[in-house]
Amino acid sequence: MAFKTRITEMFDIETPIVMGGMTGVGYGELVAAVANAGALGFITAHMYPTGQALFDEIEATRKLTDKPFGVNLTLLPSINPIPYDDYREAIIASGIKIVETAGRAPTDHLPRFKEEGVKVIHKCTSVRHSVSAVRKGVDVISIDGFECAGHPGEDDVGLVVLLPATVDALPDTPIIASGGMADGRSLVAALALGADAVNMGTRFCATVEARIHANVKQRIVEANELDTVLVGRSLRNTARVARNAVSVEVAEIQRDPTKTFDDVKHLMAGVRGRENVLAGGDVDGGIWTSGQSQALIHDIPTCTDLVANIMRQAASARERLAACGRE
């Protein structure tokens, strides 16, 4: 049974499943595998040093799939300048028509994307920011509940409330449900709450094609819903990360309100997580993000098998609900 939504129609994808951009994970090889499985994946732009390097990755990905895929632009302040304008022009030059943005609103990039027919999905963690982003011109909202990996915002609202509240506020805008999504039951629940698709990050980390160490994938499989830690709370820059020796140490230091980012910077360095953990396989070697959805992840399949299994489970869940209404 097909699941047709505004998202599947807008982006010409077979299933209402999205793999958003992920630092250290969103390489073209995985994105192509996601696309070939019938879902929508995003290359993470800021992993590439220049616009040309991003363009080259897009071209390499096109050799692996003829299905739609997109590029993620996470717009954040940085000590070292990030070539966002070059990324944008590389995306346009490559012919990519789907962009996912996160962080600050993509106001300064929207005019160029609009004139080139690029659709923009913006990730938000609150209803108010979602409404503001749509007013500024984004096409789709990906709403992140408190369960999500990475940055859940500071409002601490779970997706079961945040999603329908966003749908109610933006009835004419396609909405993607993000945070806690990992299987077919998640998909059907999100559709019932008004979403047009689901975004799965942690779930796609535990796949054969993800370019991260096998130790990390196995830790995700072994973890439960309690095996994440919130760091950065005292700095109002909350992040949900995997529970390990480093994240527990960071959280403990930040219990002291007098501590600043300088007191934990050496522990939270992104390069430490990417090199020691994602590449090196030392699951206690640095900070790495993981969502509460890891409690629903029990295997490490190919992307093709994963998407097929999700859709089979979703079809079964939909049939079960339909049976509840029969006499």
Q: What is the per-residue pLDDT across 101-122, written as a single tens digit (0 to 9) for each?
A: 999 999 999 999 999 999 999 9
pLDDT (0 to 100) of residue 327: 56
Q: Do 154 and 303 share a domain, yes or no?
A: yes
Closest CA to 198 of 64, 13, 1: 13
Q: Do 166 and 28 share a domain, yes or no?
A: yes
Q: Do 25 and 130 share a domain, yes or no?
A: yes
pLDDT (0 to 100) of residue 81: 87
| Region 113-134 average pLDDT | 98
For 158-196, how does the pLDDT look when each residue is reduced to its tens digit (9 = 90+)?
Answer: 999 999 999 999 999 999 999 999 999 999 999 999 999
Q: How many residues does the chain have?
A: 327
Q: Do 121 and 247 share a domain, yes or no?
A: no
* Helix 184-192 × helix 159-169 angle, to 10°: 40
Q: Do 127 and 271 share a domain, yes or no?
A: no
**Residue 223 falls within a domain, yes or no?**
no
State the Cα–Cα distance between residues 27 and 39, nearest whole angstrom: 15
SS3 percent helix, strand, coil of the chain, rounded to 5, is: 45, 15, 40
Q: Do 13 and 81 share a domain, yes or no?
A: yes
Q: Do 188 and 268 share a domain, yes or no?
A: no
pLDDT (0 to 100) of residue 2: 82
β-strand 40-44 against 17-19: which pairing, if any? parallel
Q: At 199, is the pLDDT very low, low, confident or very high (cuts 50, 70, 90)? A: very high
For 255-282, how does the pLDDT look when each residue is reduced to its tens digit (9 = 90+)?
Answer: 999 999 999 999 999 889 999 999 999 9
pLDDT (0 to 100) of residue 159: 98
Q: At 13, is the pLDDT very low, low, confident or very high (cuts 50, 70, 90)? A: very high
Q: Do 169 and 25 share a domain, yes or no?
A: yes
CA 121-124-125 angle, to 5 degrees, is 155
**Residue 241 falls within a domain, yes or no?**
yes
CA 119-123-126 angle, to 5 degrees, is 130
Q: Do 79 and 179 share a domain, yes or no?
A: yes
Taking phi over 0 as left and psi of -120 to 50 as alpha, with beta for the rest, 254 belongs to alpha
Rg value, the chain, Cα? 19
Q: Do 18 and 71 share a domain, yes or no?
A: yes
Q: At 19, is the pLDDT very low, low, confident or very high (cuts 50, 70, 90)? A: very high
Closest CA to 310 of 27, 34, 98, 121: 34
pTM for the structure as a whole: 0.96
Q: How many domains does the chain have?
A: 2
pLDDT (0 to 100) of residue 258: 92
Q: Do 240 and 189 share a domain, yes or no?
A: no
Of the chain, the percentage scoring pLDDT greater than 70 comes to 99
pLDDT (0 to 100) of residue 318: 94
**Residue 194 falls within a domain, yes or no?**
yes
Domain of 162?
Answer: 6-212+299-324
pLDDT (0 to 100) of residue 1: 56
Mean pLDDT of the residues in the chain:
96
At 205, which CATH number? 3.20.20.70
Q: Do 34 and 109 share a domain, yes or no?
A: yes
Max CA distance (Å), the chain: 64
